[in-house]
Structure 1
């Protein structure tokens, strides 16, 4: 039976509980029979994989590879993933460099099929590297099956510090945030921006995000936003606003249902 994370509360209260129990719950998740079997198979097999084709032809290996980078939904897109892997990351015209979602770039960089004569699958540390990412992401998925807002909060803790540490300009980092489905959702919610902002030109979006972050958090620098104390406030704001939005949505649905029921009762009364 698949391990199900224990999350007794929603919103920020749920996050505080999950944070306190994270290490224990992650260990229990990794120790599940299903994960142990997949772990063993990946360790035994990945070193034999020399090409992108060999990887995509093995569904279990591909599932781990994609899951490690949050790309689980692409497990059936074998041709697309093979192309991403074979073109690599070093050529500026490679497919992974053209895609707005940089998870594909991270994937092809990690495996190295299109960049080196000998792929990184041959490294003795490769299995540990990918499986660590995979278990982390899969635990997030398991949490998301219980509460997706908490999954987004977990993604923020990993993705924002990683982005902040990269040798990129502040502007480039904001473009990455906007291009990331999880980061853009968290920032949009935390900054109380309307969903319609996503339809604007990307330069306009960046200006709006940076301006609002400066007003709310006193900085528009992702490196500063990733500092523990600021990251905690950002996480709290996201979860509280997400919970409020959910409550308003449920309340609106209840009002609409009540109105429909009352209207139906009135029509029935008139007929009688």
Structure 2
């Protein structure tokens, strides 16, 4: 049985406690029998994989590969994943390059099946993917109890890295917009309604940059290479999310009381 994270609190208080105990909790999670079986199998067998077809044929290997990039739900979409991996990323027509969700691009770049020698033949590759898998699966375990804390964990690990990466600031913002988990954190923290997602990308980009300027004093995504800015982002997200939940609960209680009073008259 997989270790279940201990999350007695919600909101920012829960986040503070989770960060304080994270090293102990992740160590326990990583030693769970089923997690160990999957990760040890991956490290022992990934070098046998030389093509996209090899990978999708082995469900145990594919589960770890997809799980490392938060793509667990695609485990049964074998034809689609095979196309993503086989196309690679070197051409503009490659499927991963044409998709808004850049997790697929990260997946195919990591495995490099379009290269002369795929990454699976590099001795350190198995451990690299396993490390990413463990991080993502701990997030999933947290999310099974508190989805907001899962989103916060994901943002903590990815926003600073994205901010410090190469590429234009516009490209970085578009990667945020194209990543549903990151977009939800920024929307909540910046007070951007979900309906913005129906606008064209240029309009969305302008709104994200404008709100970032208002809230953080800077419209650049690169500012989040500073971990204190990431902490501030996560705190705003969790605080606003909890406030909305409390408001919703209060509203639901009020409606229930009104209905009850009506029936008693």
| TM-score (norm: length of structure 2) | 0.97
Q: Does 1:2 align with 2:2?
A: yes
- Tell me the residue number matched to 1:21: 21
- Tell me the residue number matched to 1:172: 171
Contact 1:52–1:86 at 8 Å: present in 2 too? yes
Contact 2:62–2:75 at 8 Å: present in 1 too? yes
- Tell me the residue number matched to 2:181: 182
Q: Count residues with an aligned counterpart.
A: 265
Deviation at 1:225, TM superposition (A): 2.4
- Tell me the residue number matched to 2:92: 92
Deviation at 1:117, TM superposition (A): 2.8
Contact 2:68–2:132 at 8 Å: present in 1 too? yes
Does 245-254 or 14-23 show the bigger shift?
245-254
- Tell me the residue number matched to 1:228: 227
The structure number with the bigger radius of gyration is: 1
CA RMSD after TM alignment = 1.1
Deviation at 1:90, TM superposition (A): 0.5
Contact 1:26–1:139 at 8 Å: present in 2 too? yes
What whole-Å deviation, never above 9, does each CA across 1:51-81 have from its counterpart, x for those lacking one? 1111111111111000000000000000000
Q: Does 1:130 align with 2:129?
A: yes
Q: C-alpha distance in 2, partners of 1:255/1:196? A: 27
Contact 1:219–1:225 at 8 Å: present in 2 too? no
Contact 1:69–1:134 at 8 Å: present in 2 too? yes
- Tell me the residue number matched to 1:37: 37
Task: Rate the CA distance shift 1:117–1:225 in 2: closer, same or farther, 3 A.
Answer: closer
**Partner SS, residue 90 of structure 1:** coil
Q: C-alpha distance in 2, partners of 1:26/1:88? A: 32
**Partner SS, residue 146 of structure 1:** coil
Contact 2:160–2:230 at 8 Å: present in 1 too? no
- Tell me the residue number matched to 2:46: 46
Q: C-alpha distance in 2, partners of 1:227/1:208? A: 22
Structure 1: gaps of 5 or more residues: 267-272
**Partner SS, residue 197 of structure 2:** helix
Deviation at 1:258, TM superposition (A): 2.5
Does 84-93 or 195-204 show the bigger shift?
195-204
Q: C-alpha distance in 1, partners of 2:248/2:62? A: 38
Q: Does 1:194 align with 2:232?
A: no
What whole-Å deviation, never above 9, does each CA across 1:79-127 have from its counterpart, x for those lacking one? 00000000000011100000000000000011111x2132111110010
Q: C-alpha distance in 2, partners of 1:137/1:130? A: 11
| TM-score (norm: length of structure 1) | 0.94
Q: Does 1:263 align with 2:262?
A: yes
Structure 2: gaps of 5 or more residues: none
Deviation at 1:228, TM superposition (A): 1.6
- Tell me the residue number matched to 1:217: 216
Contact 1:88–1:96 at 8 Å: present in 2 too? yes
Q: C-alpha distance in 1, partners of 2:20/2:13? A: 11
